[in-house]
Amino acid sequence: MQDIDVKSLVDLAVSAAHEAGALARDRRRAVERMAVAATKSTPTDVVTESDTAAEQLIRDRLLAVRPGDAIHGEEGGHSAGDSDVVWVVDPIDGTVNYLYGIPQYAVSIAAQVDATVEAGVVYNPASDETWTAVRGSGALLNGEPIAVTGCADLSLALVGTGFGYDAGRRARQAAVLAELVPVVRDIRRAGSAALDLCAVASGRLDAYYERGLNPWDRAAGGLIAAEAGAVVSGLYGQPPAEAMTFAATPGIAEDLRALLERLGADRV
């Protein structure tokens, strides 16, 4: 790894995330006013436009300070660089919540150095909450240290999950969930993978799992959860990936992971 000041990457990502989050939030408020005035604009247009505008803003801010970095974004795809840093960006994670005006969406920005996520920032503009982590330095919420819960019994665990957009996969995910519901305290489907991972980090969930996440959904939140003490992995000894992103407080991680493996939760 080049001599990179990871803390400065976090600071840059926080300022870009705050600016992009404010843009998304303001556009969302504008659409609410438009809806009241019954104009022709639809919320769907605003989602698409906000996504694109927020990602462009993030790209501009990151490249203004670090012009040699690569960026891998949900909306704009991959732009190559010549440094060791790749930024992994989701301008609005929780798009459907954003569409409906549910205040559970986030800007997610991770800095990968030599293919390892070294820094992560997740910002919820609606609640004005900012999660940050630097690999090896713990996780923070609005600057204060956070940690996972001490849950040690699967039957008492509050477990988050999510569903992909493909109908066949959703049916399979629902079947897995049907097996899980009777053996845990309860289930949450909050609609933003980045915030779900941060919820595990903050003790608002005991665990979270989902099949089918993209790198921009999980990169920042995965590091934040791990730095807060969560076990973050895939199934069968794999690292978190598209097949499965799993994050749990250590006291239930083994039991929940074994159950998900038994249920084939990483199969379509």
- Tell me which DSSP letter residue 236 carries: T
Among 160, 162, 215, 240, binds ligand IPD (CB under 6 A): 162
Assign 40 to helix, strand or coil: coil
* Per CB under 6 A, 75 contacts ligand IPD: no
Tell how strand 158-161 and strand 186-188 pair up. Answer: parallel
* Per CB under 6 A, 202 contacts ligand IPD: no
Q: 80-99: which residues touch ligand IPD (CB under 6 A)?
A: 90, 93-95
Q: How far apart are CA 129 and CA 134, in angstroms?
A: 17
Closest to ligand IPD by CB, 95 vs 202, is 95
* Per CB under 6 A, 198 contacts ligand IPD: no
Which residues, including other chains, have CB under 8 Å from residue 151's CB and lie 6 or more apart? Answer: 157, 206, 249, 251, 252
* Per CB under 6 A, 192 contacts ligand IPD: yes
Hey, what are 150's tokens? 């001490």
* Per CB under 6 A, 193 contacts ligand IPD: yes
Which residues, including other chains, have CB under 8 Å from residue 134's CB and lie 6 or more apart? Answer: 6, 7, 10, 118, 119, 227
How many angstroms separate the first and last alpha carbons of the chain?
Answer: 36
Q: How far, CA to CA in Å, does 103 sit from each of 21, 47, 233?
A: 12, 14, 28
- Are 141 and 156 within 8 A, CB to CB? no
From 14-22, 208-216, 228-236, 241-249, give the range in contact with ligand IPD by CB under 6 A: 208-216
Closest to ligand IPD by CB, 66 vs 211, is 211
Closest to ligand IPD by CB, 108 vs 112, is 108
Shortest Å distance, C-beta 216 to ligand IPD = 7
From 126-134, 156-164, 175-183, 248-256, give the range in contact with ligand IPD by CB under 6 A: 156-164
Give the residue from 206, 218, 220, 209 showing the smallest Cα distance to 249.
Answer: 206
Query: Which amino acid, one-letter code, is at 152?
Result: A
* Per CB under 6 A, 164 contacts ligand IPD: yes
* Per CB under 6 A, 124 contacts ligand IPD: no
Q: Count, in order, helices (H) and strands (E) of the chain.
A: 7, 13
* Per CB under 6 A, 104 contacts ligand IPD: no
Q: How far apart are CA 198 and CA 250, in angstroms?
A: 16
Pattern of binders to ligand IPD over 223-242, x per CB under 6 A?
--------------------
* Per CB under 6 A, 266 contacts ligand IPD: no
Shortest Å distance, C-beta 218 to ligand IPD = 9
The contact set with ligand IPD (CB under 6 A) reads 74, 90, 93-95, 162-164, 191-193, 210, 212-213, 217
